[in-house]
Copies of this chain bind each other. A is one copy, B any other.
Amino acid sequence: MTARRRVRPRKLPTQARAKATVEVIVEAAARILVRHGFEGMTTNRVAEKAGVSVGSLYQYFPNKESLVAELERRHHAELRAAFEEALPQAMALDVAGAVSLLIQSAVKVHTINPELHRVLSEEIPRIGPAPEFKAFEQEVYENLKAYFEARRSELCVPDTGLAAFIVLRTVEASVHDTMIHQTTPQNLGLLGQELSRMITLYLTGGPVSAKPARAKLGKAAWH
């Protein structure tokens, strides 16, 4: 497994001009990344497109990776912001409502800069996803699990961790794929309805499988 290089910006720009330069670089990078993919994104090209010199780019980003990392960081911050708004609200609702809101949020989140989202999630040589992102996913997972624990009496699942895992994977994968390949508002709406129904049914409805085997499951088994 390839080692992770330094991905922090070299120095934080203090002056206004520097800030503007960083901004212009990041924007150019995003555009080129989307248009030409990771391979086609060369630092010289980014600098040129940004209208600055390569030197300026390297003044703020010690290497190409750190530039992509910044893109990830920003995109992820947007995702997180969109989600963090909805999450507490969802946690206050009943199961059906929470599931529904969760899915709506997932859709909304995937509406944010979807081309960039695609490139970032599919084309970046994974040196391992950004730690912040993992932390965020973990956090959502923990929240959902805690919510399930709290509503345990209303639920009908053998393991709240497993349930949270399945729900998150299912929603994420379905929404992601729909966004990438069958993106129409129509489709998204229908998908949301069906997912809501499926997941709510799963959580509250059906007969639990015979052997829950809960004892064997460690606390972090699903994340």
Alpha-carbon gap, A87 to B187, bound state (A): 27
8 Å CB interface, A182-223 against B: 182, 186-187, 190-191, 193-202, 205-209, 213, 216-217, 221-223
Asked if A123 is at the interface (CB within 8 A of a chain B CB), the reply is: yes
B125 touches A182 (CB 8 A): no
A166 in contact with B159 (CB, 8 Å): no
Task: List, sorted by A's number, 24 A–B pairs whose CB atoms are closer than 8 Å.
Answer: A38-B125, A39-B125, A123-B125, A125-B125, A157-B194, A158-B190, A158-B194, A166-B191, A166-B194, A169-B173, A169-B174, A173-B174, A182-B222, A182-B223, A190-B213, A193-B209, A194-B202, A197-B206, A198-B201, A198-B206, A200-B206, A202-B202, A205-B205, A205-B206
Interface membership of A9, Cβ < 8 A: no
> Which residues on A are within 8 Å of B, measured CB to CB?
2, 37-40, 122-123, 125-126, 157-159, 162-163, 165-166, 169-170, 172-174, 177-178, 182, 186-187, 190-191, 193-202, 205-209, 213, 216-217, 221-223
Q: Which residues of B contact A174 (CB under 8 A)?
A: 165-166, 169-170, 173
Alpha-carbon distance A217/B184, docked complex (angstroms): 11
A191 to B205, CA, bound (A): 17
Contacts of A159 in B (CB 8 A): 190, 194
Q: A162-B190, A201-B206 are in contact. List 8 more A-B contacts (CB 8 A).
A: A162-B194, A165-B191, A166-B195, A187-B221, A193-B209, A197-B207, A198-B199, A201-B201
Of the candidates A122, A163, A196, A208, the one having the most CB atoms from chain B within 10 angstroms of its own CB is A122
**What number of copies of this chain does the assembly contain?**
4
Q: How far is the CA of A165 from the CA of B178 in the complex (A)?
A: 9
